[in-house]
Amino acid sequence: MVTKQTTSPLLAIRGLITHFQVKETIVKAVDDVSLDIYPQEVLALVGETGCGKSVLALSILRLLPKNSQIEGSIRFNGVEILEASEEELRKLRGKEIGMIPQSQATSLNPLLKVGWQVREVLQLHKTLGKFEAREKVVKLFTRLQLPDPAKKMNYYPHQLSGGMRQRVLVSMGVACQPKLILVDEPTKGLDAVLRKEVVTMLGEEAAENRSSMLLITHDFSVAAVLADRIAVMYAGEIVEMGSAAEILEKPGHPYTQSLLDSLPGRGFKPIRGFSPSLSSLPAGCRFQPRCRDACPDCSALHPKIALTGANHYVRCFLC
Amino acid sequence: MDAALVANKRNKEVVVRSVKRDKLLGFSSAVVLIIVLVGVLAPLIMPHDPISVSFADKVKPPSFQYPFGTDPLGRCVLSRVIQGTRTSLVAAAVIVSISGVGGVLVGLISGYKGGKADSLIMRSVDVMLAFPSIILAMALIVSMGPGLGSVIVALTLVHWTGYARLVRAEVLTLKESEFVEAARAMGNSSSRIIFKYILPNVIAPVMVMASLDIAHIVLSMASLSFLGLGAQPPEAEWGAMINQGREFIRTAPHVTLFPGLALMVTILAFSLLGDSLRDYFDPRLREGYIE
Amino acid sequence: MLIEVKNLVKEYSVGIFNKSGVRAVDDVNFCVQQGETLGLVGESGCGKSTVARLMLMLIKPTSGSVRFEGQELTGMSQAKLAKIRREMQIVFQQPQQSLHPRMKISESLAEPLKLYRLVKSKTEEKNRVKQLLDEVGLSEEHLERYPHELSGGQAQRVAIARVLALKPKFIVADEPTSMLDVSVQAQILSLIKKLQQEHTIGLLFISHDLEVVQAVSDRVAVMHQGKLVEMGSRQQIFRQPQHSYTKYLTSTILEMPTSIMRNDVACQ
């Protein structure tokens, strides 16, 4: 991992702020986030519903609704995404940065054959003939272990099982061998059997394409299997970031600790209280009202993220 | 984390869509309110008696005494337009409330009970919808004899089917929803589930439909009166007035123009109200952002 | 014996011309004792939710018997069932959708009290609603809200409070936390376990999450394609699974790798 970080990052996010104006209030979905993703690295962004992790992914692709406001910098492979034109962005999306969406049930067009949908991604970004593109889709389907790939191309989404649809979506995300794959909650709502399948498949694809991956999940066990590094997000901020092993074994931030302790296999101890609304955040540290080790300082001052070990950052006074 | 921060400000525009929608809703409901007030206060604000004939004043252009002029029988067009508002609104209100309540009840029962009753009801609705509604209404009126009463009965009989269909479709999805299942698990009776749990959730689309329906009914009524099947002389009704002014359209356009305008404004106002209500009730358009 | 299911079958007919039966639930037998938690696991679509709805007579079984405290429920009249329903309740998967969207929380909680005339006056009703809210860890500020103004976890607490209002002896929890975050999941499950102990409730806990089932259940039943393939104590099922499907299912648990393994992977 150390060797990886001596090279320059593929994606460098600095001071990213994404806010939404909803009626009179401002929703601070992403607040001052900085992170790097290095070539061939899998970074898992772990957080709970409403912490802003999906908005962060959409910010990278600049696929945000009109009432949003972005500040900061997102550099991908030397290109400043926040200053790129629509044309440049279109070339990045799908080709350089692949996205695997959250819901296998609704992310495919129900009226088009799945083979056509994957081929379209290929033909959009590569000068491939119809025949070559079809060949490529069969190869992709074979690699992703879709049974009877040539035949499956002519199926409509509803004729495939959930697991197979998930494979089709993955094949669309990786079709152009993107340098970076954004994966949004790949296991949400899946049962244990399917979850295991999806996790295995994602790991193989990232290795096969030598892609980097930003894995957005609420599930630590998925992150544990796939990620090199883990960033933990809470209420719009990154509260802890470090190598996967360190985060899972020696979590520094009380939120990470509590979140791990609330897993059924690791104590099953609930965190008290509720996640704050992104439009009315508590003063001081955002986790302080729920924190088991909070001290008076925590409600007065907002902690900065700081280095506590080798590449291990924690946003806490650690009192 | 030491790189210089590049500050970018963009996408500063806020959603104007919701503001626009609220404005449209406000505007259309204001116009509808004015129309309703005109109808309610008709006897108080009419400058003249709408049916008293005065041959000395026939087909006069707009003047201070008769702001909208007079018709071929010398009656004040303004007074008749105002009286016509009352006629149209009362008839439309009666038709929409009876066909609405009836259609909603049929739809609720048909959708919730399902089975044979449902098939029977829905097939008869299909049969009724297979006829063009205005032709069906005309046939009914002819069999009952022309007049406003017949128009009201005929349009009521034609219009309930739309509500029944709409409500049935809503009920079919609602009855599978978890909160209805929870209500059943709690031990609620069928009638309580229908009226307490399902009905409140179909009111919004019914309101939208009713508002659009009023526009449709006002137009149907005017068409039927224009054809001589609806309001009979000397009753003041927009369609009938347009028909009476038909011969004089070159020499005295005001006789047809003003009832025509009244018709247009009313239809437009109710249609806009229906559309903006639809947007208003749609939760997907209500929230500004997704996560 | 609180509730007992014998030879339960639910068949759905498919096809318009060649009607053939698909068995969603195929000859299922089990029972739940007072105060006990039976975990029911299986993949999505294996028929576990159908079993729950059959037990509560929300759908009619094709054949078989369901006995609650010795009384046969199949073929019972709606009026008689309504009385028994008070004692057997269900908590659903989608908390926000299991509450009436146009009823305030206070109204939703008062519904069961009114339905079974469990309170005599308005003030008694108010007090009971507040007490229920307190029991599930919500405060009075939530009373005047609508379901969409609550988070998933809060809505699930309301759903639990509503069930609790009836003082049931048996509760089905149908994937109660699969839509919730891990920290909220822990909150809701510890709440359910606490209430179960306080009120000695028999619980049928349905989930596809093996780790959760392992954490909450006394006994576990494994379902596959409509059939119950294995049933036993939690230790038996997770430590010495007998049936090949149970073995397969337990093998899909994602183990958290140790730090040493982690480094090996990173070096390759």
Q: What is the pLDDT of residues B61-119, one digit of tens each?
A: 899 888 898 988 889 999 999 999 999 999 999 999 999 999 999 999 999 988 888 99
Cis amide prior to A110 (ω within 30 degrees): no
Length of chain C: 268
Q: Mark yes or no for CB contact B183/C100 under 8 Å.
A: yes
Confirm if C50 and C24 have CB atoms less than 8 A apart.
Answer: yes
DSSP classification of residue A289: G
Q: Containing H/E element for A237?
A: strand A237-243
DSSP classification of residue A120: H
Domains of chain B, each with CATH number or no CATH: 38-46+69-286 (1.10.3720.10)
Q: Mark yes or no for CB contact B178/C98 under 8 Å.
A: yes
Confidence grade of residue C235 (pLDDT, cut at 50, 70, 90)? very high
Q: Tell me the nearest-neighbour CA distance from C13 into chain A, angstroms.
A: 20
Residue pLDDT, tens place only, C33-58? 999 999 999 998 899 999 999 999 99
Among A104, A263, A240, which Cα is nearest to A185's? Answer: A104
Confirm if A157 and A89 have CB atoms less than 8 A apart.
Answer: no
Q: What amino acid occupies position B158?
A: V
Report the range out of A205-209, B162-166, C141-145 with the highest average pLDDT. B162-166
Whether B19 and chain A come into contact, CB under 8 Å, resolves to no
Give Cβ neighbours of residue B261 (< 8 Å, ≥ 6 apart). none
Average pLDDT over residues C64-75: 94
Q: Tell me the nearest-neighbour CA distance from B196 into chain C, angstroms.
A: 9
pLDDT at res. B1: 28
pLDDT at res. B18: 58
Average pLDDT over residues A20-32: 86
Could you give the 3-state DSSP secondary structure of residue A20? Answer: strand
Find chain C residues with C-beta within 8 A of A264's C-beta: 185-186, 209, 211-212, 214-215
| Burial (CB count <10 Å: 0-12, 13-18, 19+), residue B259 | buried
ipTM of the complex: 0.82
Find chain C residues with C-beta within 8 A of A224's C-beta: 254, 256-257
Confidence grade of residue B22 (pLDDT, cut at 50, 70, 90)? confident
Range in A115-124, C18-27, C147-156, C204-213 the model is least confident about: C18-27
Residue A42: count of CB within 10 angstroms of its CB? 24
- Mean pLDDT of all residues in chain A? 89
C 142-181: CB under 8 A from A: 151-154, 178-179, 181
Which residue in chain B is spatially nearest to A56 when comparing CA positions? B291
pLDDT at res. A278: 87
β-strand C3-14 against C20-32: which pairing, if any? antiparallel
Average pLDDT over residues B119-133: 89
Q: Mark yes or no for CB contact B178/C116 under 8 Å.
A: no
Share of chain C above pLDDT 70, in %: 93
Average pLDDT over residues B150-161: 93
Among C52, C39, C43, which Cα is nearest to C10's? Answer: C52
β-strand A97-100 against A180-184: which pairing, if any? parallel
Length of chain B: 291
pLDDT at res. B15: 40
Confidence grade of residue B12 (pLDDT, cut at 50, 70, 90)? very low
Whether B288 and chain A come into contact, CB under 8 Å, resolves to yes
Confirm if C13 and C21 have CB atoms less than 8 A apart.
Answer: yes
Residue pLDDT, tens place only, C8-35? 999 987 766 666 778 899 999 999 999 9
Residue with tokens 């899946």: A190
Q: Is the pLDDT of residue B7 over 70?
A: no
pLDDT at res. C257: 52
Confirm if A206 and A42 have CB atoms less than 8 A apart.
Answer: yes
Structure tokens at B47: 């400058």
Report the DSSP beta bridge partners of residue A93. Answer: A97
Which residue in chain C is spatially nearest to B182 when comparing CA positions? C98
Q: How far apart are CA B139 and CA B227, in angstroms?
A: 13
User: What is the count of residue pairs from A and C with beta carbons less than 8 Å apart?
Assistant: 101
Q: Is the pLDDT of residue A289 over 60?
A: yes
Residue with tokens 């069906």: B136
Q: Is the pLDDT of residue B166 over 60?
A: yes
B 172-211: CB under 8 A from C: 177-179, 181-189, 197, 200-201
* Rounded-to-10 torsion of CA A154, A157, A158, A160: 70
Among C247, C173, C169, which Cα is nearest to C1's? Answer: C169
Average pLDDT over residues A298-316: 92
Q: Tell me the nearest-neighbour CA distance from B168 into chain C, angstroms.
A: 19
Residue pLDDT, tens place only, B255-281? 999 999 999 999 999 999 998 888 887
Q: Mark yes or no for CB contact A82/B10 under 8 Å.
A: yes
Confidence grade of residue A23 (pLDDT, cut at 50, 70, 90)? confident
Structure tokens at A67: 């009432």
Which residue in chain B is spatially nearest to A33 when comparing CA positions? B1
Secondary structure of chain B in HEC code, one letter for each residue: CCCCCCCCCCCCCCCCHHHHHHHHHHHHHHHHHHHHHHHHCHHHHCCCCCCCCCHHHCCCCCCCCCCCCECCCCCEHHHHHHHHHHHHHHHHHHHHHHHHHHHHHHHHHHHHHCHHHHHHHHHHHHHHHHCCHHHHHHHHHHHHCCCHHHHHHHHHHHHHHHHHHHHHHHHHHHCCCHHHHHHHHHCCCHHHHHHHHHHHHHHHHHHHHHHHHHHHHHHHHHHHHHCCCCCCCCCCCHHHHHHHHHHHCCCCCHHHHHHHHHHHHHHHHHHHHHHHHHHHHCHHHHCCCCC
Q: Is the pLDDT of residue C243 over 90?
A: yes
Q: Tell me the nearest-neighbour CA distance from A101 into chain B, angstroms.
A: 13
Which residue in chain B is spatially nearest to C159 when comparing CA positions? B182
Q: Mark yes or no for CB contact A52/B291 under 8 Å.
A: yes
Mutation choice for A interface testing from B12, B14, B18 by most A CBs within 10 A:
B14
A2-96+178-282 in CATH: which number? 3.40.50.300
Structure tokens at C190: 């510890």
Annotate A174-230 with DSSP letters as a single string: HTT--SEEEEE-TTTT--HHHHHHHHHHHHHHHHHHT-EEEEEES-HHHHHHH-SEE
Domain residue spans of chain A: 2-96+178-282, 106-177
pLDDT at res. A3: 44
Length of chain A: 319
* Rounded-to-10 torsion of CA B108, C147, C97, A103: 130
A 256-315: CB under 8 A from B: 305, 313
Residue pLDDT, tens place only, A227-237? 999 999 999 99
Confidence grade of residue A64 (pLDDT, cut at 50, 70, 90)? confident
Whether B282 and chain C come into contact, CB under 8 Å, resolves to no
Which residue in chain B is spatially nearest to A53 when comparing CA positions? B291
A 35-74: CB under 8 A from B: 50, 52, 54-55, 64-73
Q: How far apart are CA A178 and CA A167, in angstroms?
A: 17
Q: Is the pLDDT of residue B284 over 60?
A: no
| CA atoms within a 13 Å half-sphere pointing along the CA-CB vector of A257 | 13
| CA atoms within a 13 Å half-sphere pointing along the CA-CB vector of C159 | 36
- Mean pLDDT of all residues in chain B? 86
pLDDT at res. C259: 37
Q: Is the pLDDT of residue A10 over 80?
A: yes
Q: Is the pLDDT of residue C86 over 80?
A: yes
Share of chain B above pLDDT 90, in %: 59
β-strand C202-207 against C37-41: which pairing, if any? parallel
Range in A217-221, A303-307, C14-18, C141-145 the model is least confident about: C14-18
Residue pLDDT, tens place only, A72-114? 999 999 899 999 999 999 888 888 999 998 877 788 898 999 9
Could you give the 3-state DSSP secondary structure of residue A291? Answer: coil
Alpha-helical (H) ranges within chain A are: 2-6, 53-61, 86-92, 114-125, 130-143, 149-152, 162-174, 192-209, 220-226, 244-249, 254-261, 296-300
pLDDT at res. B287: 45
Structure tokens at B279: 């947007």
Q: What amino acid occupies position A262?
A: S
pLDDT at res. A45: 96
Q: At what angle do helices A162-174 and A130-143 cross, to 10 degrees?
A: 120
Average pLDDT over residues A144-153: 88
For the C3-101+166-267 domain, the top CATH level (class) is alpha beta
pLDDT at res. A1: 41
Average pLDDT over residues A303-309: 91
Q: Mark yes or no for CB contact B291/A54 under 8 Å.
A: yes
Q: Tell me the nearest-neighbour CA distance from B103 into chain C, angstroms.
A: 22
Q: Tell me the nearest-neighbour CA distance from C81 into chain B, angstroms.
A: 8
Q: Is the pLDDT of residue A37 over 90?
A: yes
